[in-house]
Structure 1
Amino acid sequence: MTTVTEAPPYGGAVPMPVHFDDLDAMGMLHNSRYAVLVERAIVLWWAERGVSFSGGRPTTPDAFNVVREYAVTFHRPVRGTGEISVHFWLESMGTTSADYRFRVTSTDGATVYAEGRRVNVHLDPATMRPSPWTEHGRTLGAKLLRV
């Protein structure tokens, strides 16, 4: 397997495997799998910093959030299995929302397969209504901000 050769100047980059069952009938990464790979990369980044779920429960209040918007533009197909990279960052982090941008690229970042936007909203588990991120979550999120 290859790995990302250079860290991006902002945000995070997570290498992700493309498996045979991620491919469509033409041997290309199926369009629906891009969202899954972006989700897994973002979740992995936050989990490595202690924001995740364990035993079906959030490890911190900031783990309880949902996707409000998702948009993707496809530029080139990912052909076959192997490793790609998901580069993501926060354009902004509001009181209750986080506006992510992302690129799905080759592991060296030279080829952009797709790019897009994803907005997450933090929820209060009792009311299921938007609620503010914690200070801890905001501190972690600041590491992803594009400056």
Structure 2
Amino acid sequence: MTILTETYGDVVRLPVHFDDLDAMGVLHNSRYAVLVERAIVIWWQERGVAFTGGGPTTPDAFNVVREYAITFHRPITGTGEIAVYFWLDRMGRTSAEYGFRVTSEDGRTVFAEGRRVNVRLDAATMRPAPWTDHGRELAAALLKN
């Protein structure tokens, strides 16, 4: 069970597989971004914001990562479950600023933490577009107080 003491954000538990490890037996640095991506995608998919049949289920599913920053604290050594805790620091007109922590399954050990900014795009123009009201309502559950 993951310990979550904050009243904002959410936690998604994910497995670390053998092929995620580097030659030293630790999680390869590039895999942290993948784990954060998977956690955020799972959260939105569970709320109906996804890609199905080759297209977005809602306009809010059409977004891209604009920025990504991470600080590594301790290596993840070996396979097993980890937890990705994430939240929204800010929901702008066209962007969403996530904060995240990659932790042990119980949340007591922080392996890495960082920031990620997503921008919603208009599928026709590939230019920034406002989040829908429905997307904002869903995102409110992640907003840091």
TM-score (norm 1): 0.96
Within the candidate set 75, 88, 91, 2:89 is matched to 91
Within the candidate set 59, 62, 73, 1:64 is matched to 62
- Provide the residue aligned with 1:130 in structure 2: 128
Alpha-carbon displacement from aligned partner over 1:108-141 (angstroms, at most 9, x marks no partner): 1100000000000000000000000000000011
Give the 4+ runs in structure 1 shifted more than 2 A: 3-9
Sequence identity (%): 73
Partners in 2 of 1:12 and 1:6 — Cα distance? 8
> Could you say what secondary structure the match of 1:127 adopts?
coil
CA deviation after TM superposition for structure 1 residue 9, in Å = 2.4
**Counterpart amino acid of residue 93 in structure 1:** M
Partners in 2 of 1:115 and 1:6 — Cα distance? 15
Q: Which blocks of at least 5 consecutive residues in structure 2 are unaligned?
A: none
TM-score (norm 2): 0.97
Number of positions where the alignment pairs a residue of Structure 1 with one of Structure 2: 145
> Could you say what secondary structure the match of 1:143 adopts?
helix
Partners in 2 of 1:52 and 1:86 — Cα distance? 19
Within the candidate set 113, 116, 129, 1:115 is matched to 113
**Counterpart amino acid of residue 9 in structure 1:** T
CA deviation after TM superposition for structure 1 residue 48, in Å = 0.1
Asked whether the equivalents of residues 8 and 87 of structure 1 are also in contact (C-alpha less than 8 Å), the reply is no
Asked whether the equivalents of residues 90 and 99 of structure 1 are also in contact (C-alpha less than 8 Å), the reply is yes
Q: Which blocks of at least 5 consecutive residues in structure 1 are unaligned?
A: none
CA deviation after TM superposition for structure 1 residue 99, in Å = 0.2
- Provide the residue aligned with 1:24 in structure 2: 22
Partners in 1 of 2:4 and 2:62 — Cα distance? 31
CA deviation after TM superposition for structure 1 residue 5, in Å = 4.6
